[in-house]
Amino acid sequence: MVSRIPFLQKEKGYAANDEHPMNLRDLATPALTIDLDALDRNLARMEQYSRKHSLALRPHTKTHKTPELARMQIERGAVGLTVAKVGEAEVMAAAGFDNILVAFPILGHQNLRRLATVARERRILVSLDNETAAQELSRAAIEAGATIEVLAEFDAGLRRCGVEPGAELVQLARTIEKLPRLRFRGLMTYPGCIWGSEEERRREAQNVFGRVQTALEACRKSGLAIEIVSGGSTPSAGFSHQLGFTEIRPGSYVYNDINTFYQGVCRLEDCAARVITTVVSTAVPGRAVIDAGSKTLSSDLTNSGAAGGYGCIVEAPDATIIRLNEEHGYVDTGRSEHQFKVGEVLTVIPNHVCTCVNLHDEVFLLRNEQLQGTWRVAARGKIR
């Protein structure tokens, strides 16, 4: 059981109490719910893994975007937090957190000025992969009178961001070392290429290990002091201790989703985040319409396993959510044994929990399907 639920809020209009507990099916739909027992298991599992392998845990808050859950992660041994944008860093800093890694190359005068302002009061690290971003970050730090720590990003194989892990990486690190108000701390990479079945992930992990070793060897030969090697994701978490990292940044492990389930990273019961939705129409033969559309579930399809559709209906896994409008979800019921009824409340596990959470103002906290309170998704929509 969850030992503490920090800053628990009671949602206006939901007067659940010990004498008259509110069931999840009493909530107005659509709504995003979090099973607290599943959440606690997920937090404990990652805490135990990182401790066992002496890996610093710096979880990415992009999944939950919620200071209350970030505090639970810190209480369970996380050394700091990871965010993607300045707005997310501002939210977490305002909530009192320190040692925040912005795992994204920040550019633009306003964004950099805001970040440097946060860095005057909080320990901020930034990852980047080019000289322009480093120079602009240095200028902002000078103007604000702040010091910002920097990780040089190299490509582990995803081919998204990051320089090649050799001479180009060393040159970038040397540039960072020379710039005023920046403090070079080490390296960062995102092994997002570790994806798919366990065998596929294991095979790709070997390739990532080779690139990490290339990066470390190049730095060693050049005399660079590397304090941090930051990597990791939820799909790669089980292999992280074999990859040469000193810290890991998993995100979606707290809630999980259909993508993590179909990769074998979690069980279905470990998917803590679920959307409750109501069947609003069965008028078209072979179809049911639910009140959860793209504004609720997001339009992300699965990109792992053989499943299709826009989420898994727990009560009818043999039915498929085949299409989303903003408010409507189209369910193909033709091959399902479930008898869909108007007014029925269903539970949907989203394909991609991070984008789903970003659509919701709050999450409803449940234990044994009873409402415990809510958390506001404080960092939702922070795209800058």
Q: Which domains does the chain have, with CATH numbers?
A: 24-35+260-376 (2.40.37.20), 37-254 (3.20.20.10)
pLDDT score, position 305: 65
Residues 314, 318, 319: CA angle, nearest 5 degrees: 85
Q: How far apart are CA 243 and CA 93, in angstroms?
A: 30
182 CA to centre of own chain? 27
Please count the residues of the chain.
384
Closest Cα to residue 354, out of 265, 205, 276, 250?
250
pLDDT score, position 301: 87
With a CB cutoff of 8 Å and minimum separation 6, the contacts of 371 are: 14, 16, 21, 22, 23, 24, 26, 27, 364, 365
pLDDT score, position 37: 98
Q: How far apart are CA 70 and CA 92, in angstroms?
A: 8
Closest Cα to residue 271, out of 347, 213, 210, 338?
347
pLDDT score, position 48: 98
For residue 230, give the 3-state DSSP assignment.
Answer: strand
With a CB cutoff of 8 Å and minimum separation 6, the contacts of 94 are: none
**Are the C-beta atoms of residues 207 and 193 closer than 8 Å to each other?**
yes
**Are the C-beta atoms of residues 79 and 73 closer than 8 Å to each other?**
no
pLDDT score, position 292: 98
pTM: predicted TM-score of the whole model, two decimal places? 0.93
pLDDT score, position 107: 98
- Tens digits of pLDDT across the chain (384 residues): 333 344 444 444 444 455 667 999 899 999 999 999 999 999 999 999 999 999 999 999 999 999 999 999 999 999 999 999 999 999 999 999 999 999 999 999 999 999 999 999 999 999 999 999 999 999 999 999 999 999 999 999 999 999 999 999 999 999 999 999 999 999 999 999 999 999 999 999 999 999 999 999 999 999 999 999 999 899 999 999 999 999 999 999 999 999 999 999 999 999 999 999 999 999 999 999 999 999 999 999 887 666 679 999 999 999 999 999 999 999 999 999 999 999 999 999 999 999 999 999 999 999 999 999 999 999 999 999
Count of helix runs (H) and strand runs (E) in the chain: 10, 17
Question: Within the chain, what is the greatest distance between any pair of CA atoms?
Answer: 71
The amino acid occupying position 314 is V
Give the C-alpha distances (Å, rounded to integers) separating 357 from 66, 127, 157, 279. Answer: 10, 25, 28, 21
**Are the C-beta atoms of residues 230 and 188 closer than 8 Å to each other?**
yes
Q: How far apart are CA 26 and CA 87, in angstroms?
A: 34
